[in-house]
Amino acid sequence: MKVLKGILRNTYKIYFFLVVALTLIVLYPAYWILLNNEKYFQKGFQLVRFQAKLILFLVGVSRKVHGSIPDDQNTSYIICPNHSSYLDILILYAVFPHYFVFLGKKELGDIPIFNIFFKRMNILIDRSNPKSAHASIVKACKVMEDGDNVVIFPEGTIPPTAPKMKSFKNGAFRVAQQLKIPIVPVTFVNHVELLEDRFTFFAKCRPGRSTVFIHDPVYINEQAPQDLVALREHCKQIIASKL
């Protein structure tokens, strides 16, 4: 029975990644036009959202979303989700309708074809290179100062203990304090059950419903700014409260 379950999971996983690859190949000419010219980034973002929703539909992953980001065109937000699966990225695009930019690890820029998303529109960060990392943070600050949202996974990567979270890094919270940008904590409850980040025979992978909690924004007190560590741990507790 366990072997049969493993076969079914791996068959579904192959199908899942084929859907991702084929939809990307079909849409790639449009992406090449839209994501290489800043004036088309908004349209490119909408195309990414379309692809994400199409993939989720074809692989049988629905969404149950609790809460929503405030519909405020005059405020930028730092969106801070826990990171437990590559499914997180698809769900973010499907759930948040307003333009945002990802701050992602530099390794994403090394993936052929997929790196089209990080050549210009999104931002790569190399945490092993302080100068490069600082430049990426400065670029993210510019995006928010221009009125757009930024998604930062505060764990930095998918932890092997997911859904149990690893320690949060300070970057997102330091930027929030510096720019007085509110933070929107997001909890992905069960993504590790739908697409586990392990390439083993018995890794979990199945269709189902993604459960997402979009928490109320955490605003930075301009009169009495929160301690960096206290702010970071407060947001972590909010996210963990639904796990």
- Domain count for the chain: 1
State which residues form the domain around 151.
2-240
Contacts of 187 (CB under 8 A, 6+ apart): 81, 82, 212, 213, 215, 238, 239, 240, 241, 242, 243
What is the domain-level CATH number for residue 180? 3.40.1130
Query: Whole-angstrom Cα distance, residue 155 to residue 176?
Result: 16
Global pTM? 0.91
Q: What's the pLDDT at 225?
A: 58
Residuewise pLDDT in 10s, the chain (243 residues): 778 887 888 899 999 999 999 999 999 999 999 999 999 999 999 999 999 999 999 999 999 999 998 877 778 999 999 999 999 999 999 999 999 999 887 777 777 777 888 878 888 887 777 777 778 888 888 888 888 999 999 998 899 888 899 999 998 998 899 889 999 999 999 999 999 987 777 788 999 999 999 999 999 876 555 789 999 999 999 999 999
Q: Which residue in this structure is represented by tokens 């930062």? A: 152
Contact 31, 47 (CB under 8 A): yes
Structure-block tokens of residue 191: 């993504």
